[in-house]
Structure 1
Amino acid sequence: MLLRIRVSLPDRPGGLGQVARALGALGADILQVTVLEREAGRALDEFTVNWPAAAGEVTDRLSGAPGVRVEGYWPTRELPGSAPDYDVLTQVAADPARGLATLVDALPALCGADWALALADGVVRHASLAAPTAFDLPDPPLRPAARAGADLRLMVLPVAELHIVVARSTGPAFHRAELHRATRITDVVAKLSGRTPETTHP
């Protein structure tokens, strides 16, 4: 099972190695490590791993390492070393008229999310697989924003007359690094598609 695991750990020499050793001892194959932030003596890292056990064991089995806190984990389809952003942009450049629909279809895999959709005036204009056919977005933001509720973690990306919503039901809230990446690719797709985004980068 391919998982992304977000871990908070002490920002000191050997801290990352400690988590890597713990993952190795649990039989996980580490494919990629991304440092999301470092502040106040702690680091926030994301590990992409092949996890051999039941996903529910991640927190229990990793949290035994001193100072380590599992912020969340969720399945991912993005293989480390691939370049899905470029693949999406290539598809959009080949057919700009479908640019935003192509983006909505691709965002779940790009963002480790369950689904994405594009709303205009409260109506779903395009939806990826597994997305609802109707969605209420109270108080749509003017800028890209991440929101977390009891059931869903959302990114909302305003572009032209639309709001693109990206959602996942498990794992932690979208990090600002994820929001920044999604915003950048949305802006590029909007330009290729001839849309004028109403966004500024977070």
Structure 2
Amino acid sequence: MLLRLRVSLPDRPGGLGQVAKSLGTLGADILQITVLEREAGRAVDDFTVSWPGQMSAAEARERLSAVPGIRVEGVWPTREMPGSAPDYDLLMHVATEPARGFATLVDALPGLCGAEWSVAVADGAVRHASLAAPAEIELPEPPPRAITVGAKELQLMLLPVVTAGLHVVVARADGPVFHRAEVERAARIVDVVSKMAARA
């Protein structure tokens, strides 16, 4: 089972090694590490791990939280295969068929962002929805800039596309709040896609 773990740990020599050793002891195979931030003496990292058997997100969180100095911010299933380049694949699809740029973007964003679903919204109506998007959605107001909102059970990332008169909503139910590094990455991808689609 592929899981993503978001971990806050002391930013000091050997801190990352301690987490890696702890994960190995628990039976996890680390496939990828992404450093999200380093400030105020702590680092926030995303680990993509493979766990043999059916390790639940709750069990993984409980076992890793027992390691001194480590704070687990989220554990959730992921479909993104480490070493792949889904953002480049997305841009290649949009370059090939720019008229479908936003539909392609909406379909790809859940996988890119470790989320469940996404939609493109214009004038208060859904223009395109990814496969797992619910049939009924309470649509948020268009934001002036990329932001995150949400409650404990559902985190949203709102990405405006001013040139197209719409905004994109990305939803995560199982994981933590979208980190600012995730929001910045998604906003850059949306910006590139919007420029490519505008030329269609």
Scaled by the length of structure 1, the TM-score of the pair is 0.93
**Where does structure 2 lack aligned partners over 5 or more consecutive residues?**
none
Partner of 1:33: 33
Q: Partners of 1:56 and 1:112 in 2: how far apart?
A: 17
Q: 1:101 aligns with which of 100, 103, 107?
A: 103
Q: What number of residue pairs does the alignment pair up? A: 195
Note the 1:38-117 alignment, pairs <5 A: 38-52=38-52, 53-117=55-119
The residue type equivalent to 2:92 in the other structure is T
Q: Partners of 1:44 and 1:101 in 2: how far apart?
A: 32
Q: Partners of 1:102 and 1:190 in 2: how far apart?
A: 11
Whether 2:183 is the aligned partner of 1:191: answer no
Moved more, 133-142 or 41-50: 133-142
The residue type equivalent to 2:107 in the other structure is D
How far has the Cα of 1:162 moved from its partner?
Answer: 0.8
Scaled by the length of structure 2, the TM-score of the pair is 0.94
The residue type equivalent to 1:124 in the other structure is V
8 A contact 2:118–2:133 mirrored in 1 = yes
**Where does structure 1 lack aligned partners over 5 or more consecutive residues?**
196-202
8 A contact 2:5–2:46 mirrored in 1 = yes
Q: Partners of 1:31 and 1:151 in 2: how far apart?
A: 27
8 A contact 2:58–2:75 mirrored in 1 = no
Residue 56 of structure 1: SS of its match in structure 2? Answer: helix
Q: CA RMSD in A?
A: 1.2
Q: Partners of 1:165 and 1:189 in 2: how far apart?
A: 15
Q: Which portions of structure 1, spanning 4 or more consecutive aligned residues, are displaced by more than 4 angstroms?
A: none
How far has the Cα of 1:39 moved from its partner?
Answer: 1.1
